[in-house]
A and B are shown apart, each in its own frame.
Chain A
Amino acid sequence: MNLSLILTTGLLALQPAAEPELQRPSGAPAQDVAEPAAPAEAVAPAEGEAVAEDVAAPAEATAAAPDTAAAPAEETTEVAPEPTEPVPAEPAPPATDGERYVVSAGAGGPPFYDDADTAALRARHGIEIEATDRTEGPRWRCLIADPACGRSFEVNALAAYTYRGRQGRVDGMGEDPRWSSGRAQYDFWMNLPVMKEIAGDKLFSRMTLGPKGGLIFSDGGSTWGNLGMAFRYWMGRGRWAPTIEFSSALTFKIGERELKDAGLGEPKWKMTRGPLGFTADVGFGLGGFGAIVLGGQYDSPLAREEIPDQYRTSAGGAFFIGFRGNILWGGPAAAAVATHAITQRTVEAP
């Protein structure tokens, strides 16, 4: 008897694991779905000696001629229901809210939504049902900003009148000069859409934000670099939609001309160090053509005690108003270069 128990236990351990229970349609009774017999559910090793005694005889017969598939099947026919032909579940009743799916004739693929479903979905989420009336694409492969563009890149040029000032000189002369000047700025903008809107089956950028950087010029050969962020909000979807632009950046001096009173002969442009300052502006524009820009800039002083006097710089700043546009139009680029040149030739920095 002990040998029988050992063999039985071993055979039971060899039984295939019970298959996971089939998911049945909610409307169909469980007995209608054909399932193979599940011997492991009927006799599990953990049920103990009483169960093992009941199956001892078939187990011994199996030991003589191992047929692990047939023996349990014969045994469990008493406890498992007879397999029957599967009865398909009742089809789910159609949705009552008018939304449904249909199988396209001949498609042979997954179910597809039809136009009525799409219209219902758009109405639910407040998406315009009618396609946008705009059909023309943007110019220059989105190198001119357009709400019909996703990620885009542009080069802008600014020509502006500037009112500059300097907050005294660190060498004790006590001057506080202010003067009128010009400003030319060339920037590379990277526009990443951060707010999109959907019209029909088209995407439009409502708001873009991205890094930008470039060069700034003013009188006296003053040259700054700048790097920061540029923001644009589109108040429409057209090519000439009004825009609000806001940009801010860190600025840093790169070079300037030697002052004529420095006694160094002919003034010459040279690299010049300066601590970080900042600039910010707001613009009101039309499409990707350009914008009227109002802004300001501040230059931090370099006046630490451990810096020799001749290398110190004083705080400065400027307010400016001008026009900034994409250089691909030509006009903004020409205006900026002209402003730059005229400022160099006509403005005498105090």
Chain B
Amino acid sequence: MSASVSVFVLSSLLAAAPSDAPADAQADAPTDDAAAENDLVEVSEADEEDKDEYGPFFEDEAPSDLQYLGRARPGRLPVLSLGEGAFCFVEGTYCKASMILSADIGAGIRAPASDEGPDVPYAQFTFRGGVAIRPSMIRPRKRKAWGSWGVGVVSSWSKGTGAVSFGADDDFDDAKSTDDTTVFRVAAINQMWLSKRNHAAHLDFTFGGARSDVLTSGVTLWGTHAEVGMGFGGWGGLFLSGDFLDRDTRVVLGFRGHGIAAGPIVAMALAGLAAGGAL
């Protein structure tokens, strides 16, 4: 038997030898890989439990026999919701769709172009509304009981402090100002929920357009609106927001509260102003 025959026999043996993995496992391997890759799990309508989430933020809470007497709602039922979380009036961890309704106050700086005037303090109050959904929790076939991503549309209206402008030669004689600034915004909001606990923290990224008075020109233009915020459930949170218009930039740090909390505050403020004759 020559060496070539030996090699042929050896090759045949290698090809005929069973591999370490069973045939069934080999057949299933592509399916498993695909499932792991897109991280989807088939769930039925009756059982929405999925235990396939891993990661620093998405681990389930460790089981414990300790709890507060004032645990707001048992289980996963969000507060002020319809259809067990199908639609929530206050955003919650297990809400499939949520109403956004909030009021906020913020302060920062108004920075016009260098030849238009000085940087001046800027403050505003805002009313905001919109809706957000959690796509991975509502898609028809491969639905998760909880998904970290939320997306939606928001619109807001603000009243801010006025602008000051004058010429580049620092001649204050031609200084002009406005009493206030009105801003209207439409934007898309992306949310990343950071845990599955009640009133969980979430990061919000909002990008869209802002229509507002530009400095003291009397002209209303569209500009860019961008915001990053951190909220606790739907109850409120902190944010950093910016409106970028032609030669007129405003950046504010603010605090936001849900309408359920902000409504009484606004009502009391208006009542005090009205009763005091300030309006």
Interface residues of A (CB under 8 A from B): 2-3, 6-7, 10-11, 14, 16-17, 63, 66, 68, 134-138, 141-142, 146, 148-153, 155, 157, 184, 186-188, 190, 192, 198, 201-205, 210-215, 217, 221, 223, 225-227, 250, 252-254, 257, 269-276, 302, 304, 306-311, 327, 333, 336-345
Inter-subunit contact B265/A188 (CB<8 Å): yes
Residues of B within 8 A of A142 (CB): 70, 72
Inter-subunit contact A149/B9 (CB<8 Å): no
Contact of A148 among B68, B125, B271, B275 (CB under 8 A): B68
Q: Which residue of A lies closest to B279 (CB)?
A: A269
Contact of A10 among B10, B69, B123 (CB under 8 A): B10
Residues of B within 8 A of A190 (CB): 232, 235-237
Q: Chain B 233-257 against A: per-residue CB contact (8 Å), 1 yes, 0 no?
A: 1011110000000000000011111
Contact of B118 among A16, A135, A201, A306 (CB under 8 A): A306
Residues of B within 8 A of A215 (CB): 105, 265, 269
Q: How many residues on the B side are at the interface (Cβ–Cβ under 8 A)?
A: 71
Contacts A211-B237, A221-B278, A304-B118 given; does A149 touch B68 at CB 8 Å: yes
Interface residues of chain A: helix, strand, loop or mixed (majority): mixed
Q: Chain B 116-149 against A: per-residue CB contact (8 Å), 1 yes, 0 no?
A: 0010111101000000000000000000000000
Residues of B within 8 A of A68 (CB): 17-18
Q: How far is the CA of A103 from the CA of B203 in the complex (A)?
A: 45
Give 25 A-B contacts (CB < 8 Å), ordered by A residue: A2-B3, A136-B69, A141-B79, A142-B70, A151-B233, A153-B261, A202-B68, A213-B236, A215-B105, A226-B105, A227-B106, A253-B123, A271-B123, A271-B159, A273-B161, A304-B118, A306-B118, A309-B172, A311-B175, A337-B271, A337-B275, A338-B275, A344-B272, A345-B276, A345-B277
User: What is the total of A-B residue contacts with beta carbons within 8 Å?
Assistant: 216
Q: How far is the CA of A254 from the CA of B252 in the complex (A)?
A: 13
Contact of A155 among B79, B120, B161, B264 (CB under 8 A): B264
Inter-subunit contact A7/B265 (CB<8 Å): no
Q: Which residue of A lies closest to B13 (CB)?
A: A10
Inter-subunit contact B232/A202 (CB<8 Å): no
Q: Which residue of A lies closest to B11 (CB)?
A: A10
Q: How far is the CA of A44 from the CA of B236 in the complex (A)?
A: 67
Residues of B within 8 A of A192 (CB): 232
Asked whether B44 is an interface residue with its Cβ less than 8 Å from the other chain, the reply is no
Q: How far is the CA of A12 from the CA of B164 in the complex (A)?
A: 87
Contacts A254-B125, A273-B122, A327-B268 given; does A146 touch B70 at CB 8 Å: yes
Contacts A188-B265, A336-B272 given; does A307 touch B164 at CB 8 Å: yes
Inter-subunit contact B261/A188 (CB<8 Å): yes
Q: How far is the CB of A38 from chain B (nearest CB, A)?
A: 16
Residues of A within 8 A of B77 (CB): none
Q: How far is the CB of B15 from chain A (nearest CB, A)?
A: 11
Q: Chain B 13-39 against A: per-residue CB contact (8 Å), 1 yes, 0 no?
A: 110111010000000000000000000
Residues of A within 8 A of B262 (CB): 188
Inter-subunit contact A188/B159 (CB<8 Å): no
Inter-subunit contact A333/B10 (CB<8 Å): no
Inter-subunit contact B166/A14 (CB<8 Å): no
Q: How far is the CA of A68 from the CA of B17 in the complex (A)?
A: 8
Residues of A within 8 A of B236 (CB): 153, 188, 190, 211, 213
Inter-subunit contact B261/A151 (CB<8 Å): no
Inter-subunit contact A134/B69 (CB<8 Å): yes
Contact of A337 among B71, B268, B279 (CB under 8 A): B268
Inter-subunit contact A341/B255 (CB<8 Å): no
Contact of B255 among A14, A213, A271, A340 (CB under 8 A): A213
Contacts A68-B17, A188-B262 given; does A275 touch B121 at CB 8 Å: yes
